Structure 1
Amino acid sequence: MSEKKKKLSFLGRIIFFFNAVFAALLLLSYILPYAVPKSFPILSVLSLLVPVFIVINFFFLFFWILNVRKQFLLSFFVLIIGYSHVTSLYKISDTTTKPTENTISVMSYNVRLFNIYEWLKDESIDKKIVELVRSESPDIIAFQEFHRNQEPAFSFYPHKYVALKSQNKKTGQAIFSKFPIIHKGSLEFPNTPNNAIYIDIIKYGDTIRVYNLHLQSLHINPETEEFSQKNSERLLKRMANTFKMQQSQAELFEINRKNCNYKKIILGDFNNTQFSNVYKTIKGDMKDAFVEAGKGFGKTLDFSYFPMRIDFILADESFTVNTFKTFSEHYSDHFAIKSVISLD
């Protein structure tokens, strides 16, 4: 009886084969942040599937444990090796700390033009977004896909920088601030309405640069895309080209950041996940506010198939992240995020 217990059945061997495949894919995903999109565009597309690989390996882990099989060790060791990947996907509990006096609350929100084209069947979306921001009252809020018609609605902020880049000069990025802005600027990304803007503020005796970053969009709607073989090949090619553009944009951003000696906070929609080379490039040694003080999956994109975190708040190592919140209000195809950080 014990001898039979040691041997896998034919079905068990098939299951373990697929286990090995997904364990290998997860291992491969650990090097994806080091795979430059310009050189390995298809590998970069795989970074979007890392949450799936993690979840499937957890499934195999528990399957083998419940069946009292040593095969659980394969997924167990692969998940342990990628511990930082797992914790950046899901936080069991938040690690909030008591804010000190030197705090700044920041918020980031891709508002999808305040629903001007009625993607959501609710005519009051624009007012609900304004009310959400008013009630949360962050010291600084960064909007991606901002529409100039909404500028007067945020008059309760005394300082602002609105940079409109589209052909009709009606849409772009915006930052509203309770603190005076001593300098501001825009980083122009070629051949796209996406860009990065920044403001410099003085707070607690320090000059702080706050970036609002919106990288190239994938322009994929899973509900309307036709996933035929021919269209899937075209879709993969389009995604690969997008990731190459994102890398170029990240490199332009990096030049500006290296030339700035101020403490920095980065807010924005990267249109890519925390498992990508683009995220690794932008994050550098900075703190990811979700990893520091978040909870759950931190899902920021309204995507039905698996949780995707593509909106980020990053802070220099000189900051302490006190709190992080992902909002559940469904006013856009993104969910707002907010963090309270302290200047040490």
Structure 2
Amino acid sequence: MSKLSFTNKIVYFLNTVVAVLLLLSYILPFLPPKTFSILAVLNLGVSFLIILNVVFFIYWLIKFKRKFMLSLTVLLIGYFGFGSLYKFSSAKNIEDSGNFKVMNYNVRLFNLYEWLPGTDVDAKIIDLIKTESPDILSLQEYHSREDVNLSFFKYKYEKLSGKKIKSGQAIYSQFPIINSGSIEFPNTSNNAIYADVVKGNDTIRVYNIHLESMRINTQVESLKKENSERLFNRISNTFKMQQFQTELFLMHKKQCDYKMIICGDFNNTAFSYVYKTIKGDLNDTFIQAGSGFGRTYHFKFFPIRIDFIFADQAFNVNGFKTYDNYYSDHYPITTTLSLKK
């Protein structure tokens, strides 16, 4: 440190803090939020911490200072332990006669309250779904109304709640649904539902999970107005609820012997305990076949991936796509799957 200027000493101190925080975040998927709720809040900033460490790495590299090793080491630990924030490889696009497409989309009530300007946002969402033509569609924050027409699907299961405005989740399918149901999460409007669909000679269990929301405004200006302690406590309590909801889901999932696909809005990142726990030995279809950041949530300053499609080992993951159509605060994702022969 003696060879560093006063300014660079400050920069290196900040670099050290950011590197340590990122290193701490790597152990978060292994720590139950009910026990370590304070640390769990770091989940939300992992993408930002990675980007900051890349900036520090480049800064020291340009300065020809060996201090770049600090951020480089922490970034490499994360890369080999958890994978990259950004997927540099090209997305898969494998043609197979058995391919079928699964889409997941938090549609934000089809813009019922006009969060986005324009009166045709709901129509654009429907047009997008119709154009992409998924065989299975998983929707969160779904609201059924006359001008939202998804009748081009042959089968559906929806679970709605609420007094004035009924909303919830839905699974639409071009394959027959022979069984369906709901996993009730207490004291919340969030929920998990499932549908058993028949494709050929196979029955596939499709789950649609919507874990507890942190209700964070996407605009940083709004976050500044909220008391930091209250915001921190709210996020901590949300993570505890997400863990409880995950435990309820896993108890239900354990009783199913069918081939399985799990879709949903987890309201948490791929560096979280709930992600690691729900994923288990399933394949994250973005990691298998996607590219880029895989951003699924509209946040102004850095990419956040909180919507997922998992598939078990019975499926080949032949494609994945993240869309940039801004019709909700979430972006839709699709994966192309085929059953292994």
Residue 136 of structure 1 aligns with which residue? 132
Deviation, structure 1 residue 226: 4.9
Residue 8 of structure 1 aligns with which residue? 4
User: Compared with structure 1, are the counterparts of its residues 148 and 103 closer, same or farther at alpha carbon in structure 2 (3 Å cutoff)?
Assistant: same
Deviation, structure 1 residue 203: 1.6
Deviation, structure 1 residue 168: 4.2
2: distance between equivalents of 1:85 and 1:128?
40
1:199-278 correspondence to structure 2 within 5 Å = 199-223=195-219, 225-227=222-224, 231-278=227-274
Deviation, structure 1 residue 41: 1.1
Deviation, structure 1 residue 136: 0.4
User: Compared with structure 1, are the counterparts of its residues 152 and 308 closer, same or farther at alpha carbon in structure 2 (3 Å cutoff)?
Assistant: closer
User: 1:71-94 CA distances to partner (integer Å, 9 max, x unpaired)?
Assistant: 111111111111157745211133
1: distance between equivalents of 2:208 and 2:146?
18
2:305 pairs with 291, 306, 309, which one? Answer: 309
8 Å contact from structure 1 (residues 325, 337) kept in 2:
yes
8 Å contact from structure 1 (residues 164, 173) kept in 2:
yes
1:25 pairs with 21, 24, 27, which one? Answer: 21
Residue 114 of structure 2 aligns with which residue? 118
8 Å contact from structure 1 (residues 195, 215) kept in 2:
yes
1:37 aligns with 2:39: no
Stretch deviating more after TM superposition (329-338 or 145-154): 145-154
2: distance between equivalents of 1:187 and 1:240?
23
2: distance between equivalents of 1:287 and 1:91?
15
What's the TM-score once normalised by structure 1's chain length?
A: 0.94
Residue 177 of structure 1 aligns with which residue? 173
Residue 51 of structure 2 aligns with which residue? 55
2: distance between equivalents of 1:298 and 1:226?
24
1:164 aligns with 2:160: yes
Q: Which runs of 4+ in 1 moved over 3 A?
A: 84-88
User: Compared with structure 1, are the counterparts of its residues 245 and 36 closer, same or farther at alpha carbon in structure 2 (3 Å cutoff)?
Assistant: same
Deviation, structure 1 residue 148: 1.5
Residue 332 of structure 2 aligns with which residue? 336
2: distance between equivalents of 1:220 and 1:68?
40
Count of aligned pairs? 339
2:13 is aligned with what amino acid? F
Deviation, structure 1 residue 197: 0.6
1:227 is aligned with what amino acid? K
What's the TM-score once normalised by structure 2's chain length?
A: 0.95
1:55 is aligned with what amino acid? I
8 Å contact from structure 2 (residues 122, 148) kept in 1:
no
8 Å contact from structure 2 (residues 106, 331) kept in 1:
yes
User: Compared with structure 1, are the counterparts of its residues 341 and 253 closer, same or farther at alpha carbon in structure 2 (3 Å cutoff)?
Assistant: same
8 Å contact from structure 1 (residues 88, 291) kept in 2:
no
Deviation, structure 1 residue 305: 2.1
Stretch deviating more after TM superposition (207-216 or 79-88): 79-88
Deviation, structure 1 residue 101: 2.1
8 Å contact from structure 1 (residues 99, 342) kept in 2:
no
Stretch deviating more after TM superposition (198-207 or 170-179): 198-207
8 Å contact from structure 2 (residues 106, 140) kept in 1:
yes
Deviation, structure 1 residue 225: 2.8
2: distance between equivalents of 1:235 and 1:219?
10
User: Compared with structure 1, are the counterparts of its residues 151 and 288 closer, same or farther at alpha carbon in structure 2 (3 Å cutoff)?
Assistant: farther
1:79 is aligned with what amino acid? L
User: Compared with structure 1, are the counterparts of its residues 167 and 41 closer, same or farther at alpha carbon in structure 2 (3 Å cutoff)?
Assistant: farther
Residue 319 of structure 1 aligns with which residue? 315
1:287 aligns with 2:279: no
1:127 is aligned with what amino acid? A
User: 1:32-80 CA distances to partner (integer Å, 9 max, x unpaired)?
Assistant: 1112111111211111000111111111111111222221111111111
| RMSD, aligned CA | 1.8
User: Compared with structure 1, are the counterparts of its residues 97 and 129 closer, same or farther at alpha carbon in structure 2 (3 Å cutoff)?
Assistant: closer
**Structure 2: tracts of 5 or more residues without a match:** none
User: 1:279-306 CA distances to partner (integer Å, 9 max, x unpaired)?
Assistant: 1111111111111111111111111121
1: distance between equivalents of 2:148 and 2:218?
34
8 Å contact from structure 1 (residues 88, 274) kept in 2:
no
Deviation, structure 1 residue 235: 0.8
